[in-house]
A = this chain, B = another copy of it.
Amino acid sequence: MIVYFRSMRIKDEAKQSAIIDATVKLVNEIGFVSSSVSKIAKEANVSPATLYIYYKNKEDLLVSTYLEIKQRLSEEILSEFNQNAPIRDSLYKFWTNAFHFISQNNSYFQYTEQFANSPYSEKVNHEDVEKSFTPIYEVLQKGIEQKIIKNVSFEILSVFMFYPIMNLSNARLCKNITADSKTIEDAFQLAWDAIKL
Q: Which residues of A contact B (CB under 8 A)?
A: 28-33, 110, 113-114, 116-121, 126, 150, 152-153, 155-157, 159-160, 163-164, 167-168, 172-177, 183, 186-187, 189-191, 193-196
Contacts and interface: CB of A to CB of B under 8 A. Distances in A.
A55 B59 CA distance: 30
Contact of A156 (B29, B31, B114, B168): B168
* Main SS class of interface, A: helix
A113 B119 contact: no
A173 B119 contact: no
Contacts of A187: 152, 156, 159
11 contacts: A28-B119, A30-B119, A31-B118, A117-B173, A152-B186, A156-B177, A156-B183, A156-B186, A160-B160, A160-B190, A190-B195
Nearest to A176: B155
Nearest to A175: B126
Contacts of A31: 32, 118-120
Nearest to A192: B194
A191 B161 CA distance: 11
Nearest to A114: B117
B159 A164 contact: yes
A168 B29 CA distance: 28
Given A32-B31, A163-B164, A164-B163, A117 B117 contact: yes
Contacts of A194: 160, 190-191, 193-194
